[in-house]
Structure 1
Amino acid sequence: MHEAATTDAAATVRRARFGKLPERIRYEDMTQEVETDPNARTKSTYNPEGAWNYYSCLALDLGL
């Protein structure tokens, strides 16, 4: 019984110092479904010839 009182006292001190954990967030609340624009594919297509502009490589930067 002495052990349970010590655990309860430690828990009380811990809660007083740190408070309580935030409530859990459900996965459904973290996601959002958005309708896409049917013409979005033609506006932002992948261009393989221009993709090298966004690629970063230290060896290429140093000219190796």
Structure 2
Amino acid sequence: MKKELTTDAAAAELRHARFGRLPERIRFDQMTEEVEAAPGGVKGSYDPEGSWKYYSCLALDLGL
């Protein structure tokens, strides 16, 4: 049984030498970033009055 422990310890040492250690954990508050939204007129924003320009309907395209 001691032979298995030394083999496991040697394998662990070999793994540690090859891969090193795991990176440090990142806290949740470091994963998020709060950014203020740009005031109106942002490209790609939703405009309910101008959305009709981009409406696509297959039936209309086929003339049905």
Give me the TM-score of the superposition, normalised by structure 1: 0.58
- Aligned-residue sequence identity (percent) comes to 45
Structure 1 segments of 4+ aligned residues over 6 angstroms from their partners: none
Matches within 5 A, 1:4-43: 4-37=5-38, 40=39, 42-43=40-41
Matched length: 49
- Mapped to 1, the partners of 2:35 and 2:9 lie a distance apart of 48
Q: Unpaired runs of 5+ in structure 2?
A: 57-64
* Map of 1:62 onto structure 2: none
- Mapped to 1, the partners of 2:55 and 2:16 lie a distance apart of 53
Q: Name the CA shift for 1:9/1:46 in 2 (closer, same or farther; >3 Å).
A: same
Give me the TM-score of the superposition, normalised by structure 2: 0.58
Structure number with larger C-alpha Rg: 2
